[in-house]
Structures are given as structure tokens and as C-alpha cells.
Amino acid sequence: MYRSKLQIAATQDQATNQRFQQQRADLAILTKSKQELMNEIPSSAAVADVSQMPAAVAVKQALDNIEQAKAKRDGALKEAVENLANLNMID
């Protein structure tokens, strides 16, 4: 019984680790600030107002979505930590 649970846990750990490794590059973007991401947007001197171009608008919207996702993630992590702090392991 114990060995089967241990094997299941090890298998789930491997699967989780694989998913994490596959998404690691995508997760790295969540560590950047909005300003850092804005700095990565190429600029063009040939266009007077790039900020109104559809691609620029889409990038700005995506950056706002990332900020919202970060806030949601932070809230979920805070809630999880609070729940774990209230968990009584003895009962």
C-alpha cells in the first residue's frame, strides 16, 4: 500500500516537473515588470505614433493581462498559504 502511494507520488512529481520544464520559458515572462516588457517592444523611427498601431495596442493589452494574471496568482498563493497556516496536521 505504502509503495504504491509512493510510486504514484513519484509519477505525479515527474509529470509536474516535465510540465514545469516545458513552460519554464513562458513563466519567465511573469517575472518581468511591465516597464521591462515595454522596453522589449521594438521601436521604429519611421512611424510617428506607433502606440496606436494594432500590434502595439495588442501588446499593451497583453501586458495588462499579464499584470492581472500576476495579481490573481499572488492572491491565490496568499490564500493557499493562509489555508495551510490554518491547517491542523494533528486532527
Residue type, 76: A
The confidence score (pLDDT) of residue 56 equals 83
Kindly give the residue spans of alpha helices, DSSP state H, lying in the chain: 2-28, 34-39, 54-86
- pLDDT grade for 89, boundaries at 50, 70 and 90: low
| Per-residue cell: 40 | 522589449
Other beta carbons less than 10 A from residue 23's beta carbon: 10
User: What tens digit of pLDDT does each residue of 18-34 get?
Assistant: 888 888 877 777 888 88
Other beta carbons less than 10 A from residue 14's beta carbon: 10
The confidence score (pLDDT) of residue 54 equals 85
Phi-psi sector, 53: left (phi>0), alpha (psi -120 to 50), beta: beta
Q: Give yes or no for residue 87 having a pLDDT over 60.
A: yes
User: What tens digit of pLDDT does each residue of 41-85 get?
Assistant: 776 666 567 777 888 888 889 889 998 999 999 889 888 888 877
Residue ranges of domains in the chain: 1-29, 32-91
The confidence score (pLDDT) of residue 46 equals 60
